Every structure is written in structure tokens, then in C-alpha cells.
Amino acid sequence: MLYPMHLEKGDRIGVIAPAGPPDLENTSKAISFFQAMGLQVKFSEHLNRIHGYLAGTDEERLMDFHEMIADRSIKALFCARGGYGTARITPYLDFELIKQNPKIIWGYSDITYLHTAIRQETGLITFHGPMLSSDISKNNFDSLSGSLFKQLFEPTILTYSETVSPLKVVTEGVAEGQLVGGNLSLIVSSIGTPYELDVKDKLLLIEDIGEEPYKIDGMLNQLKLAGKLADAAGIVVGDFADAESKLPSSLTIEQVFHHYFAELTIPVISGFKIGHCLPHFSVPLGAKAKLSTNDKTLVIQPGVM
């Protein structure tokens, strides 16, 4: 794996919008959060562009990403929001440029597509964590979520236990491997593409928002038929926000999880506050981790050097 260098006070970070257009007022509000950590903030050139449901054209978003990667004064890239659009620019990413300039890349949701492609093409560890416009700027952004940014300043072993949130063992066991995945919808959309998520002997993280149980059922069924559930060493079930069914009759999301996971011979634990939620427990994707149902813990090795 390729580890990005840790941050130090005084470092300059870049803010990009590789997917949907961010709320610029909210994005600007989040600057003070980074300044309080001693960081300088630079917005990408086209951050204020809107092209339908995209934050500028594909060319503009791609240009901003490459410019931030190439700029040696920028030590980390933070995404302003998710939405939709990263899959459109992924085939045109300069992976060699990224590999030569390994920086912290932070975001989640639609950014899952970037996380997967960049890690699998370059080996770079990236970070699944809250973003400026959609999370950090909110009045209810909590101290735990904020404290997880400290892992960027020095190599830190993260331990998620029931001190963070109640956890439910779906299937028992202990497994170790790289932590990969992210947003379930984006994982499924990668199947059959050059950037299909490799889960072989890895811990698969899944989360999503606004998907009813029958849709989650369909996505998990696709993962099952594609061999992804059987290939994984373990499954970390993150937050599934706003998953209530609008149908007159429906399975619960817990019943859906049980159907797909209960017969697996790998550890599966649900209830992790990772995803479209607060607190949002930020994690390095690609880092080595251990999932254990013995003490209901997920222990993750550092994501920076």
C-alpha cells in the first residue's frame, strides 16, 4: 500500500467538488474548522461552477482534481460534497500523477468511486469521512466526528467498539484484511467496469442513504451473485439512513441483512456509525483492519505515514 504523508500545522489543504455542486455558503463556513487545526485552505478554481447536477463540466472537475494533486503546496484534498459525478471522470484520472504525489484524499458517498479506483490503480490509502458542505458546516456536527480528523496528523490506530454505538453481531468470527468499500450504490455500480471493487480476503464496508429495503435487497443480491459476499473476509455494516419503506408491506432492513449475511461463514457486524450520519466515524480505506465478534470491535491500522 501507498501511504500519504501526515499533516502538520501550517499545511495547506485543497477543497474540490468532483461530484455534485456544493452549497458555497456552507462550504465557506467549514473553513474555520480546518483553520482551528492550524491548516490553510484553498478552494479549487471551478468550485463555484454548476453544470446541471454536476459541479462544473467533467473537464473542469477533472482539471481541479489534477491541479490540486500536482500542486506541491497542497498536502491534502477534501471533497466539499458527494452527489453524483465521480464515475464520469474516473476513466480520465492521471493515476501515475496521483502515484507520484500521494496525498490525503478525503470524502464519502459518491466519492466511493474515486476511493476504489485510486486505491486499486495506485495502492494509495484514502479516507472515508465527512465533507465540508454536507457535514462539517452543520450546527450539529459533533465533537467525535471532528476528533477523527486527528488521525491525519500522526499515525493512529483506530478502535471502534460499543463505546461509540451499539453493535449487532449478525454472524460470528474474527477476520483481518484491508478495509475497502463505502457507499453500497457506488460499489454495485462499479461491477462490470475496470474499477470493480476487489473484496477478495478483505473487510467490506457498506453504507447508504435513502434506499428502501427492497432496493438494498436488490443491491445485496447483485453483490451475492457477483461473488462479492463470498469473497469477503468479513463485512462491516455501516449506517443506512432514511431506509424506511414506503410500500404497504415490506421486509425490514434487518431482515434483509439477515437473509444475505446469516449463512455466511465470515464475521458480520452491523450498527457502525460510518456513512451519512452523525457521529461519523472516519476510516482509512485500504488500511489493514481486524473485525472481531468476540468483543465487537473493528481495529484499523494507521492510514498515514
Q: Which residues are catalytic?
A: 109, 207, 276
Q: How far apart are CA 27 and CA 29, in angstroms?
A: 5
What is the three-class DSSP state of 168?
Answer: strand
Q: Are 13 and 75 in contact (CB under 8 A)?
A: yes
Which of 181, 269, 271, 191 has the alpha carbon at shortest distance from 224? 191
Owner of C-alpha cell 491534502: 76
Q: How far apart are CA 270 and CA 279, in angstroms?
A: 15
Q: Find the helix packing angle between 213-225 and 253-261, rounded to 10°.
A: 10
Cβ burial of 281 (10 Å; 0-12, 13-18, 19+) is buried
DSSP codes joined into one string, 198-239: P-TTSEEEEEEES--HHHHHHHHHHHHHTTHHHH-SEEEEEE
Q: How far apart are CA 172 and CA 174, in angstroms?
A: 7
Q: Are 4 and 305 in contact (CB under 8 A)?
A: yes
Q: How far apart are CA 293 and CA 296, in angstroms?
A: 4
